[in-house]
Structure formats: structure tokens, C-alpha cells
Amino acid sequence: MWNVARMISYTLRCPEDHRFDSWFQSAAAFDTLLRGGHLVCPVCGSGKVEKSLMAPAVRPARSAARGPAAPGVPVSDAEQALAALRRHVEENSEYVGMNFVTEARAIHEGEAPERPIYGEAKADEAKKLIEDGVPVAPLPFLPVRKTH
């Protein structure tokens, strides 16, 4: 399973100067996805994206003075964006759990109906999917395991 704590967030930009953030398992994973043509600008669709200059996220002193928020309540813009992304993924995709690798490969090969899915995979399994041209990307959160 991919460890969110070790993921890297990059600010990317396209030739049209559209900027967007994306999460990667490592710098090498970014390079692999870029070389494979799996990174595109969400605004114009350009495949010519590159890392943009970034500044570290620093919490201002007055935010810290307010004290911690209630557990599970997003406080920063980044946390709110992640919460919105999670809601979107969970509402618009099918959770396939530990069958993610098998299901993603079956969809890619036309053996299963095409649909958005998410689930869990070991890093080496996800890397193999990417190497085989299956378009997958890590999520910046761990899925809530669903039982049926």
C-alpha cells in the first residue's frame, strides 16, 4: 500500500502557465509518469508539464495561535482541497479494494467495463502497472476500507 506520509507534492505548470498541484510517491514516480505521457494539464490538456518553482508550506504564527481544529476538520486550503478530492473520488468511482491491480489491468485490456475505480496496491504492483502503460496515479489519501 502506498504510504501517504512519504508522498511528494509538486506544483506543476504547462506552457500556457496553468499551474496545478499533484502528489507523487517519489521523484522517480513523477519522472516515470512524465516520460510515459501520463501527466497533463487539467485546464488545457497539454502533455508538456514541468515542475514549477515552489515555496515550502509554512504555517503563519497567528494560525498556530488559534489552536488545533476539531479532529477530522480540514483547516488549511490544502486540507480542504484534499477533503474535496476525497469526496469526489468516493462519489464518482468504484472502490475495488485490494483487487485494484487486477481490475485496472482488466479495464486497460478491455476485459472489464471502463469506469473510474480506486483501491489499494503495493508500490511494486503499481509501478508495474505504470511500466505496462496502464494509466494509474496514487491518491494523496488512504481509502476508507469498505466492506459489503
**13-67 per-position pLDDT tens digit:** 999 988 888 888 888 888 888 888 888 888 888 889 898 876 665 556 555 545 5
Can you count the helices (H) and strands (E) in the chain?
A: 5, 5
The pLDDT of residue 97 is above 60 = yes
Gap between the Cα atoms of 14 and 74, Å rounded: 29
Check whether residue 42 and residue 81 sit in a common domain: no
Check whether residue 97 and residue 50 sit in a common domain: no
Residue 82, exposed/middle/buried by CB under 10 A (0-12, 13-18, 19+)? middle
> How does the average pLDDT of the chain come out, rounded?
80
Number of folded domains in the chain?
2
Check whether residue 82 and residue 33 sit in a common domain: no
Three-class secondary structure of residue 96 per DSSP: strand
Q: Where are the beta strands (DSSP E) in 37-126?
A: 50-51, 94-97, 117-119
Check whether residue 44 and residue 85 sit in a common domain: no
101-119 per-position pLDDT tens digit: 999 999 999 999 999 999 9
Gap between the Cα atoms of 62 and 3, Å rounded: 31
Note whether residue 147 is domain-resident: no
Q: In terms of residue numbers, what domain contains 109? A: 76-136
